[in-house]
Amino acid sequence: MLNKMNLILFGISHKTAPVEIREKYSITKKNNFDNKQYIILSTCNRTEVYTTTCSPQETKNEIIRLLEVEYEDLDYFYFLKDKDVVVHIFRVASGLDSQIIGETQILGQVKHAYNKAKEFGMNNKYLDDLFKQAIEVGKLVREKTDISKGNISICSVAIKMIKTFFNEMENKKVLIIGTGKIGELVAQYLLKEKMSYIFVANRTYEKAKELAEKINAKAIKFDQLNKELIDADIVVSATASPHLILKKNVVEEIMKFREKKLFIFDLALPRDVDPEIRNLKNVILYDLDDINLVVEENYKRRLKEAEKAEKIVKEEAEKIWQQLEKKLLSVVEQAA
C-alpha cells in the first residue's frame, strides 16, 4: 500500500531558540542540500526546510542529518505536516511570525528562498504552488490591513534605539561592517537621519567602495577597521562571516585610546561580535535578541491588525490546502 504524499517543514526560529543556538544552523549557501527537492528559508531569525515526501519521519531524519543538528538541540526545532505547513508559511510571509509583527523584509526573504530553489532546481510543483501562494497571501495581508504600517524592520528598530542614545546624530561617526542587504538598509536609514560621517568596511574592498558610492559614504579597507574604531560613535556589523569580526581583546585595546562610549549593534547571524565585549567599560552591545527590548513596544499597536491578518491567513490556508491536498493525493493514485 502506498503512503500519502505529505508536505513537511522542519525548522528553528527566534520563537523556539536563542541566538546562540540559531546561529549554529544558519544556512548562508546550499551546504549539504545540493540536489535535494527542498526550499530553504534561512534568515537572521529562522532556518526552515520545506519539502514533500511519502515518508515524513525518514525525511525529517535526513534533514536533521543534513543540518548536522546536535542531539541536545533537537528540542529547539519544530516539525509540521500538511495543512499546518501551509498555515505556517502564510503566517511567515505575512509577517505574523516575525520578531517584529508585520515587518516587511520577510516577504522579500520568502521570495528569495523560492527563487534560489528554482535557480538550483531544488523545488517541485507542489512547493512551487505553496510558495507562490504564500507570496500572494503576504501581499494580500499588507493590502487589507495596516500590519506593516511604518515599515518597521530589525534595521529601523536598531536606528530607533540609536536615536534614543543621541539627541543630535548629524555629527556622529558610524562604521558599517558588511555590504549585504542589512548593511545597505542601515545605511539608507542613517542617510534619512542626515548623518554625514558614514564609513563602510568589507573584506572585499570593492564591495565597500560600491556601497559607499551609493550612499555618499567613505569606504575603508578591512585592515583599517581597528584604526577607524578608535573614534567611531556607532558600529553596525552585519556580515555573513562564520567567524567573529570584533573580538574582545581587540576592542579592549581600542577602548584604551578613547574616552567616549562605543555603541555596537550586531545584526549578523552567526554573530559578528564577541558577546563578552558587552562587559567592557563604555561599550554598549546589542545583538538580535536584544532588539526584543524595543520590539515589545510595537506589539500592542499591531495586535489589532494582526487579528485581521490571522483571519485572512486562516481563510486562504483553508482554500489553498484543499487544492494542494488533492494534488498530493493524485500523486499516490497515479503511482498505484
Give the distance between the most distant pair of CA atoms in the chain: 75
CA–CA dist 157, 155 (Å, integer) = 5
CB 248 within 8 A of CB 280: yes
Q: Among 40, 47, 38, 57, which Cα is nearest to 14's?
A: 47
Residue in 39, 37, 53 with CA at minimum distance from that of residue 5: 53
> How many Cα neighbours within 13 Å face the side chain of 71?
0
271, 187, 193, 282: which is closest to 233 by C-alpha? 282
Strand partners, 168: none
Establish whether 44 is a catalytic residue: yes
Examine residue 56 and say whether the peptide bond preceding it is cis (omega within 30 degrees of 0).
no
Q: How far apart are CA 292 and CA 295, in angstroms?
A: 5
String of DSSP letters for 61-80: HHHHHHHT--GGGGGG-EEE
Which one from 44, 63, 101, 177 is the annotated catalytic residue?
A: 44
Q: Where are the beta strands (DSSP E) in the chain?
A: 6-13, 39-42, 46-53, 78-81, 173-177, 197-202, 218-221, 234-237, 262-266, 283-286
Whether the Cβ atoms of residue 237 and residue 182 lie closer than 8 Å to each other: no
Strand 197-202 to strand 173-177: parallel, antiparallel, or no bridges (unpaired)? parallel
Distance CA(87)–CA(94), nearest Å, equals 11
Q: Quote the cell numbers at residue 152.
A: 518597521
| Contact (Cβ atoms closer than 8 angstroms) between residue 9 and residue 333 | no
Distance CA 25, CA 23 (A): 5
Pair 190, 198: CB distance under 8 Å: yes
Catalytic residue list: 44
